[in-house]
Amino acid sequence: MAVLRSARFGNRALTWSNWLFAYLILWALPIPVGIVLSTFAMVWRWPFEALGATIPAETAVSVIFGFGVFLIMMPFVSWIGMVLSFPIVWLVLRFGLGGWLSFLLGGLVMAWAAAGILGGMSPEIPMVLGVLSALVLRWMLGQRSPWILVPGHQPESGDV
């Protein structure tokens, strides 16, 4: 595994269905994760409510529930970073710069740009989610064509 490098012309191995599959899964993945987190928080909250106890907003249960709701709503804004990232990811794979660090830095930059476009949003949460999304995207593309992440690998006729 290379930190900065990948195979040159790795973009040629990925078909439109590979790109579409990876980006659609990445776009929709926060919804089930958010549903699980919100459900977990609600299940933990019910015993307190049944006993008539109040739960302050600062408790971990409320934070988990709020983060789950944020993840459920994330696809409404995450498409901005994905649209901005597609041509960059394509070029990165073409020039053989698709290492883990490259995707990590790309996720940071795209999340920072999306937070700037949205305005008024603190950039920390989008940056963490952008880094995770970028690394998951790299992993998914690598699952579709594993050789594209191997530095120095020359594409052969069977690789595509």
**Domain range annotation of the chain:** 10-149
Instruction: Using CB atoms within 10 Å of the CB of residue 16, give its burial: 0 to 12 exposed, 13 to 18 middle, 19+ buried.
Output: exposed
Give the residue ranges of the chain where pLDDT is below 70: 1, 56-58, 153-160
- Of 76, 89, 85, residue with least CA distance to 30: 76
Evaluate whether 11 touches 90 at the Cβ level (below 8 Å): yes
Q: What integer pLDDT is reported at residue 136 of this predicted model?
A: 92
Residue pair 37/71 in contact (Cβ under 8 Å)? The answer is yes
Contact call for residues 123 and 112 (beta carbons, < 8 A): yes
Which of these, 13, 16, 17, 1, lies nearest to 155 by C-alpha position? 13
Q: What is the pLDDT of residue 82?
A: 84
